[in-house]
Structure formats: C-alpha cells, structure tokens
Amino acid sequence: MKKSYSQREWILVGAMMLFVLALGFLPTGFEQEIYVNAVGSKARVISVDNTDLY
C-alpha cells in the first residue's frame, strides 16, 4: 500500500532542507589555519603501551 504525503509534510521537508542548506553557508570561525607559524617535523614512534585497550 502506497502512502501519499500531505502538503503539510512536503512543506516541512522543504523547510528543513532550506534550514540545513542555510547552516552549511554560515561561517564557523575556523576558516583560517590555527597554527600559522607552526614548524612541520617528522617523528618515529619507538614504542606504545596498548595493554589497557579492549
């Protein structure tokens, strides 16, 4: 049995889609890099302690 959706439900779906789209365009405040003057370096992991991991 196929359910037909009412106009009220379609309006709600459209409003939610517009809301999510608007949230996607809002600025977050994290547009720039946090560590501007950071120096990149390589490291080698010598040992790890995973005894408490499940």
pLDDT in tens, 10-49: 999 999 999 999 999 988 877 677 777 788 899 999 999 9
pLDDT at 43: 94
Domain residue limits, the chain? 1-27
- Compute CA distances 48 → 7, 28, 41, 43, 54, whole Å: 59, 36, 20, 14, 15
pTM confidence score: 0.49
